[in-house]
Amino acid sequence: MAFDDLRDFIKFLESKGELKRVKAEVDPVLEVTEITDRVSKSYGPALLFENPKGSKMPILMNAFGSYERMSWALGANNLDEIPQNLAGLLPDGEPSTFWQKLGTLMKLKNIADYKPREVKNAPCQEVVLADDFSLEDIPVLKCWPQDGGKFITLPLVITKDPESGRQNLGMYRMQVYDAKTTGMHWHAHHDGAHNYRKHQEKSRPIEVAVALGGDPATIYSATAPLPPNVEELFFAGMIRKQAVDVVKAKTVDLMVPANAEIILEGYVDPEETRREGPFGDHTGYYSLADYYPVFHIKCITMRKNPIYPATIVGKPPMEDCYMGKATERIFLPVLKTALPEIEDLNLPLEGVFHNCAIVSIKKSYPAHAYKVMSALWGLGQMMFTKMIIVVDHTVDAQNMSEVLWKVFNNVDPARDIMVVKGPLDALDHSSNTPKYGSKMGIDATKKWPEEGHTREWPDDIEMDEETKRLVDSKWKELGLG
């Protein structure tokens, strides 16, 4: 199931009873957030605000805000189906060559069919505004009381590497400064920031296009932790099993999703920065104000009667949590190519993607858990993980009660905790220094004599199978439900 665009997805959600139209006038300043947060926390439906104050554009919120909706967005009935759907397309091998292989596979016929497909006429260019436009016409949200202003929260930011010519699609919040400028919240580790620095070295502006809306797989792909040699639009095509249509932007040399709702075209100056933030972030805390590059908009193209997609972030659970869980499921097979001893991975919602990872492993030798921790910290964006908990393969990594039971009972702090230093996510406020600090690994596996535990290790309490079968046979007779 591949959705053509955001509207196609909206129709599907409505047919499933998973979308609520809000006809009353609602203010994009704080009010939309409070309504959406209540609905999100109660595991409610997607919301289409049809009458936002000060704008004619409807606002779509919480579209990915459940496991089921996130699965549907990526063409599956549950998140575990997604890697199964990709399995036949992905190469075998170690991660050192995995992404290289995927990059070369883009040239093969069966995979090349999923590369972006250029079209000449696109819905996103039905209306072209080269002079007479204002961001004030878009119902951009001010999400939380201490936010520095209104923020575009679900943008697909498109840049190009000036050397390879490869495009990148990333999702970076954008604070609206005035009618034609926004901030560009590039963290140092982002691929968009990498392309920006390359342009800085050449002392020239970087062309940028920002797509708002599009098919749901493309929106998700902007958040996926892909390496620079794999383009997000290609990855979206793989998920959809159908190429994403793209069209050349009107004023910049970039290809943009043809079925997006709105496209912002312009540039970021290599030297100009402006104070951006604070912003109520996905950690559940405000990220502090700092100086970031400035995006100057020169042209806006859009559909007739566009829909503005947005999201809010804050204390979990929220919509972004389900996007993170999709990443967990999709990229687990990639981790297993490096570490076949891994049975499962859980990025708990409360860990907001980068603060905690729970890993179950088939333990084969002493200190095996430490090897897994060190390896994970060396894999891509796993380097940001502040806490890694390793449990035995017999433990359900998705069951936090079971995991915490093992941690609280199996861990001797002096023996089983490893603290290392390294890069942290830019939004981590706990470290003394930004983007750098300490990380902790916790070995909650059963300890072996070779690991220094010479005492007898007790067995878990379990009822014998014969008694279980006996009680099963009597259960209805007992009248206990």
Instruction: List the CATH number of the domain containing 432.
Output: 3.40.1670.10
Same domain for 184 and 304?
Answer: yes
Separation in Å, CA 92 to CA 24, 333, 336, 439: 53, 10, 11, 31
Q: Judge whether 82 and 326 are in contact, CB under 8 Å.
A: yes
User: How does pLDDT run across 328-342, given as a tens digit for each residue?
Assistant: 998 888 888 889 999
Q: Judge whether 440 and 417 are in contact, CB under 8 Å.
A: yes
Higher pLDDT, 111 or 143: 143
User: How does pLDDT run across 32-91, given as a tens digit for each residue?
Assistant: 999 999 999 999 999 999 999 999 999 999 999 999 999 999 999 999 888 887 766 655
Percent of the chain whose pLDDT exceeds 90: 77
Q: Indicate the pLDDT class of residue 95, thresholds 50, 70 and 90.
A: very low
Beta sheet of 255-257, edge-to-edge order: 117-118, 245-248, 255-257
For residue 107, pLDDT over 90 is answered with no
Same domain for 353 and 299?
Answer: no
Same domain for 285 and 409?
Answer: no
The answer to whether residue 266 is domain-embedded is yes
**Which of 22-31, 102-111, 228-237 shows the lowest mean pLDDT across its residues?**
102-111
State the residue range of the domain holding 385. Answer: 339-451
Instruction: List the CATH number of the domain containing 300.
Output: 2.30.110.10
Q: Which amino acids are annotated catalytic? A: 281
- Please give the pLDDT value at position 96: 46
> Can you say whether the dihedral through the CA atoms of 376, 377, 382, 386 is positive or negative?
positive
Same domain for 378 and 248?
Answer: no
Same domain for 137 and 270?
Answer: yes
The answer to whether residue 460 is domain-embedded is no
Same domain for 290 and 399?
Answer: no
The answer to whether residue 25 is domain-embedded is no
The answer to whether residue 300 is domain-embedded is yes
User: Average of pLDDT values for 268-277?
Assistant: 96
The secondary structure of 402-446, three-state, reads HHHHHHHHHCCHHHHEEEEEEECCCCCCCCCECCEEEEEEEECCC
The answer to whether residue 473 is domain-embedded is no
Same domain for 239 and 382?
Answer: no
The answer to whether residue 378 is domain-embedded is yes
- Please give the pLDDT value at position 42: 94
Same domain for 279 and 382?
Answer: no
The answer to whether residue 368 is domain-embedded is yes
Same domain for 284 and 370?
Answer: no
Q: Judge whether 142 and 149 are in contact, CB under 8 Å.
A: yes
Separation in Å, CA 281 to CA 128, 351, 400, 454: 33, 13, 24, 47
Cα 315 to Cα 321: distance, rounded to the nearest angstrom: 10
Question: For residue 322, which amino acid is it?
Answer: Y
**Overall domain count for the chain:** 2
Chain CA centroid to CA 208, Å? 21
Cα 45 to Cα 284: distance, rounded to the nearest angstrom: 21
- Please give the pLDDT value at position 72: 96
Same domain for 207 and 283?
Answer: yes
Same domain for 372 and 289?
Answer: no
Of 309, 328, 348, which marks where a domain is finished? 309
The answer to whether residue 377 is domain-embedded is yes
Q: Judge whether 286 and 293 are in contact, CB under 8 Å.
A: no
Same domain for 343 and 254?
Answer: no
Token pair for 173 = 């919040």
Q: Which range has highest mean pLDDT (88-97, 256-265, 457-466)?
A: 256-265
